[in-house]
Amino acid sequence: MLALIKKWEGCKLKAYKDGGGVWTIGYGTTFYPDGSNVKEGDICTMEQAEQWLQIHCNNLVFEILHEVKSTLKENQLAALVCFVYNIGMGAFKKSTMLKLLNEGKYGEAAGQFPRWNKDNGKEVQGLTNRRLDEQKLFLS
């Protein structure tokens, strides 16, 4: 799970604006464990970036398991953590994917990954590739 997130997020030790204009640092961190937002001028060490990634993923595991009422295999949970790390828990809670998972329709839920490949309404090849990786992990 962490390796897949690292692959797609990359790591930057100086805050930058992501494709959506959100200040980001480390492996796609947009807010710190204390809840404060990343802001212009922030810097971090590789150790901090790793720590923030681990904390965020641990929190996502808990949140996903709270929302998904059906049983998940380890690979499915790992794929969902990578997915939700990118789209956010709010979007996941409203998604057709979650609805299908809660109905036990795993195959149909897996089919939802490729639909989440847009940024500001435009298809992004990197997101298309990421979703295919997540889908492949989910189905493995």
What are the catalytic residues? 9
Q: How far is CA 100 from CA 9, 45, 58, in A?
A: 27, 40, 23
Tokens of 17: 């604006």
d(CA 53, CA 26): 8
